[in-house]
Amino acid sequence: MKAAVYHGKEDIRVEQVADPSLDAGDVLLKIDACSVCGTDLRTFRNGDKKIAPPRVLGHEFCGTVVESKNPNANVKVGDRVVMYIVLSCGECKYCRAGRENLCVSRTTMSYHYDGAFAPLVKVPAKAVNRGSLFKVTTEQSSQQMSLAEPLGCVANAHTHLGIGLRDKVAVIGAGPIGAMHAVLARLQGAQSVHLIDINPKRLDMMQRFDIDGTIVSDKEGSHIAESLELTDGDGFDVVIVAVSNAFAQADALEIAGKGARVEFFGGLPKSNPTAVLNTNHLHYKELVLSGSYSERISDFRTAYQLIQSGRFPADKFITHELPLDRITDSFLMMESGEALKVCINPQLS
């Protein structure tokens, strides 16, 4: 089969590889849709030490079971499925607390096992046995269902935030993840939702979602004044940083109001992970600052159910569908802000 294989920094090749072969307990999926993640783009640009090449990337996918060597599986041949991509040990203190994302020996699809930028993917027995495959039972398209993985990560962050009717919410970063945060905030009843970004083109694309407004940020900090103005001088009740940028993290504390909840979603580049923060904001405003990493299986289930319900506007996220050969183009389209979410269809030639 033809797959997009990571060989190292700036080196992803679409090339011929052997079809996956199944061992006892494994399940084989035909991939109908695999969305491109900001993480894939980062791996392409900077490399990733956690990935030993050659490795097929792609972890936001929906596919159909075409072969099963697992008689106890909760899905069968012909079922359309999505997958919780973390493989956890089930025994460490974090797994026992239901926090599989923090498992001390976690492995992940597209990092330790080949991913879904390929027509076929093997789901390891360990994942099948843990109930990591979820059958799609509604009419939602495979492209739409592929968003269950990133939406689950976003849902994980929201479990710290408790957004409700009284909250004025700001999301810094108008990419697909920022948009998911904004949509979830709205679905939970937020009083207002604003998106902040340095790129006006990205903010224009946010107009398709049910939000109250956008704010263009700049180096002079006009967005901080504008944020305070918008909130009658109080600052926002919830600020979510959905961009990998130390200045955005610092800004979040500036525009947070008294008693606000602040979420740092995603990390900074490993080569430079330090941010300069005015921690007096934490002290005097009694802020609560939280982080989130990946997702628990319960978050994935939440996201899968939400997309299946049709209440999550998944179709508005997918702006492009491309064949595997154009994987590198998809990275450029994401960087420029031309695409919100690109979905690869490995069955297209």
Give the residue, chosen from 29, 62, 87, 103, that forms a contact with Zn ion under the rule CB under 5 A. 103
- Residue 119 or 175: which CB sits closer to Zn ion? 175
- Residue 20 or 58: which CB sits closer to Zn ion? 58
- Residue 88 or 140: which CB sits closer to Zn ion? 88
Q: CA-to-CA distance for 345 and 124, rounded, in angstroms?
A: 22
Nearest approach in angstroms of CB 304 to Zn ion is: 15
Stretch binding Zn ion (CB under 5 A), from 83-91, 237-245, 315-323, 334-342: 83-91
Residue 349's CB is within 10 A of a number of other CB atoms, namely 9
Pairing of strands 27-35, 341-345: antiparallel
Nearest to 297 by CA among 82, 25, 31, 76: 82
**Would you count residue 294 as binding Zn ion (CB under 5 A)?**
no
Q: CA-to-CA distance for 232 and 209, rounded, in angstroms?
A: 24
- Residue 285 or 301: which CB sits closer to Zn ion? 301
Pairing of strands 80-83, 60-68: antiparallel
**Would you count residue 268 as binding Zn ion (CB under 5 A)?**
no
CA atoms within 13 A on the CB side of 136: 26
Stretch binding Zn ion (CB under 5 A), from 71-79, 81-89, 194-202, 220-228: 81-89
Nearest approach in angstroms of CB 123 to Zn ion is: 17
Give the residue, chosen from 68, 88, 146, 214, that forms a contact with Zn ion under the rule CB under 5 A. 88
**Would you count residue 95 as binding Zn ion (CB under 5 A)?**
yes
Give the residue, chosen from 22, 92, 268, 288, that forms a contact with Zn ion under the rule CB under 5 A. 92
- Residue 89 or 250: which CB sits closer to Zn ion? 89
Q: Are 22 and 105 in contact (CB under 8 A)?
A: no
Q: CA-to-CA distance for 348 and 117, rounded, in angstroms?
A: 12
54 upstream amide cis, omega within 30 of 0: yes
**Would you count residue 102 as binding Zn ion (CB under 5 A)?**
no
Q: CA-to-CA distance for 219 and 44, rounded, in angstroms?
A: 28
Subset of 20-79 contacting Zn ion (CB under 5 A): 37, 39
- 280's enclosing H/E stretch is helix 280-284
State whether the Cα torsion 93-96-102-106 is positive or negative: positive
Instruction: Provide the CA 143 distance to its chain's centre, in angstroms.
Output: 14
Nearest approach in angstroms of CB 324 to Zn ion is: 17
Nearest approach in angstroms of CB 55 to Zn ion is: 15
Stretch binding Zn ion (CB under 5 A), from 150-158, 160-168, 185-193, 226-234: 150-158
Per rule CB under 5 A, count of chain residues that contact Zn ion: 8
Nearest to 345 by CA among 154, 116, 181: 116
Q: Note the residues at the interface with Zn ion (CB under 5 A).
A: 37, 39, 88-89, 92, 95, 103, 150
